[in-house]
Amino acid sequence: MTEKLQEKETETVRIVETEESAVDPKLVEQLAEILSNETEATVRRFVADVHQADLADLIGLLSPPHRHRLLRIIHVDLDPDLLFELEDSLRKEMVDILSAREMADAISEMDSDEAVQVLEDLEQAQQTDILREVPQEERLDIEKSLQYPEDTAGRRMQRDFVAVETDWSVGQTIDYLRDEKDLPDEFFDVFVVDGDRNPVGTISLSRVLRSARDMPMREIMDDTHFIVAADMEQEELALLFQKYDLSSSAVVDDTGRLIGMVTMDDVIDVAQEEAEEDILRLGGVGEEAVTDSVWSSTRKRFLWLLVNLGTAVLASLVIGQFGATLEEMIALAVLMPIVASMGGNAGTQTLTITVRSLATKELTAFNAFRTIRKEFLVGILNGVLFAIIIGFVAMFWFQDQEPTRHLLLGVVIASAMVINMIVAGVFGVIIPLAFDRMRIDPAIASSVFVTTVTDVVGFFSFLGLAHWILFT
């Protein structure tokens, strides 16, 4: 990142010509160096020129001792933006350093949506202590937002917005914007409301700027005007913004009155967060960041691994049923993981596609059956292809067995492969669909179920067929 500072008459504009969004590694090293050897004043001077979003990244990259020192130094005269930008676990560290009074000052300076996002992660007692110190007007706004369930439009919305009445003209609107002081820092649209404060239209600022002063606002409203209820889930909200390319949307309470707006920049984070959550959940980890401590990471992963231990033991119990068969022909023990592993991989492929299609609403009740049938067919096709390959591999590998036995071994593993690949495809789509129907996030629970099925079916079909074809 190259930066130039250019003096303007009134203030300094920082021109950033970027190749990369990442913080410069040299900057991290410099800061680490300064934190090891220099005085508080030097640290302050170094940090003063850094954009708060970069500072938040820098803090995440520092080693714990350096980080603690830096947080202690900057907690005085804290920039509220930094508090907002910090990654969850780091923000908790910062909040623990700040007094309720200091937190309240920072909170009061933020936009209401940012204040809510910082406060909602804190414990109830901490929240109450801080809110007590926030001036009444801001406090009431924040408290009202906090009454909406987590992850809803009510939590993400900003309570400052621009609304004009239906009979206003463009000129009146511009004059109002120039005079009014209590407006959000940045906004992209103006809402038109009727006498009951029900929103009836949205107008983008570029449209306002391009229209003549005497144009009535109601004549330049967008063709489509989106109103969302404050209890709408943020995931839905993000999909809505993406699908219709919205820049902001009006939020109404249950009487239909305009109470806030959600803007695109709030939602870009949500879309990313939700996809992120799916990735982590599919990988068997919950909300975990690279900055988490060893203890916290161990704890977060333990439960998932324990569940997996259960399924692994279950698979072993299946194998245990065929002890006598295995004893007769040790080649079976050698080949047995292949069928289970291929089923697990094929199941994971189908599962991944299904989970994402459900999240983006490309898969609904309407095409569910068609999708199951398709996965069944894909399972047959890939099953037959891999059955042929592995059948021949097994025959040639164990040629030293009794004459017909190695041929039959090929047939056994090929048949088990076809069965398990079909099972993988069908369960890979049915299991997440079922969870989705039960309103359980399919990303979190499906993968352990799918691999349990493919392990059990994999071992059972291979060893069962072997017992039946080879030894009876």
Looking only at residues 211 through 270 of this chain, which bind a second copy when binding is defined by CB under 8 A? 211-212, 218-219, 221-229, 232, 236-237, 239-245, 247, 264-265, 267-269
What is the nearest approach in angstroms of a second copy to the Cβ of residue 88?
A: 12
Nearer residue to a second copy within complex by CB, 127 or 350: 350
Question: Which residues between 301 and 340 bind a second copy (CB under 8 A)?
Answer: 301-302, 304-306, 308-309, 311-313, 315-316, 319-320, 323, 326-327, 330, 333-338, 340
Stretch that binds a second copy, among 19-27, 100-108, 125-133, 134-142 (CB under 8 A): 19-27
Cβ–Cβ under 8 Å, residues 251 and 230:
yes
For a second copy, the closer of residues 98 and 246 by Cβ is: 246
For a second copy, the binding residue among 44, 72, 132, 210 (CB under 8 A) is 210
Site for a second copy in 54-113 (CB under 8 A): 57, 60-61, 63, 87
Q: How far apart, in whole angstroms, are the C-alpha atoms of residue 199 and residue 317? A: 63
Assess contact for 118 and 84: CB atoms under 8 A: yes
Asked if 23 touches a second copy (CB under 8 A), the answer is yes
Q: Whose Cβ is closer to a second copy: residue 137's or residue 265's? A: 265
The reply on whether position 34 binds a second copy by CB under 8 A is no
Least distance between a second copy and beta carbon 74 (Å) = 19
> Can you tell me the distance from the alpha carbon of 429 to that of 357, in angstroms, rounded to the nearest whole number?
11
Does 412 interact with a second copy (rule: CB under 8 A)?
no
Side chain identity at residue 255, one-letter code: T
Residue 28 found at the interface with a second copy (CB under 8 A):
yes
- Rounded to whole angstroms, the Cα distance separating 32 from 26 reads 10
- Could you please report the per-residue DSSP string of 145-183? HHTSPTTBHHHH-BS---EEETT-BHHHHHHHHHH----
Backbone angles phi, psi at 422, to 5 degrees: -70, -45
Q: Pick the closer one to a second copy by CB: 280 or 411.
A: 280
Structure tokens at 123: 């414990």
User: For residue 121, how far is the Cα from the chain centroid?
Assistant: 16
Task: Note whether 209 and 191 are within 8 A (CB).
Answer: no
Half-sphere exposure of 288 (CA within 13 A, CB side): 19
Nearest approach, Cβ of residue 328 and a second copy (Å): 10
Query: Tokens representing 469?
Result: 């074809």
Does 200 help bind a second copy (rule: CB under 8 A)?
yes
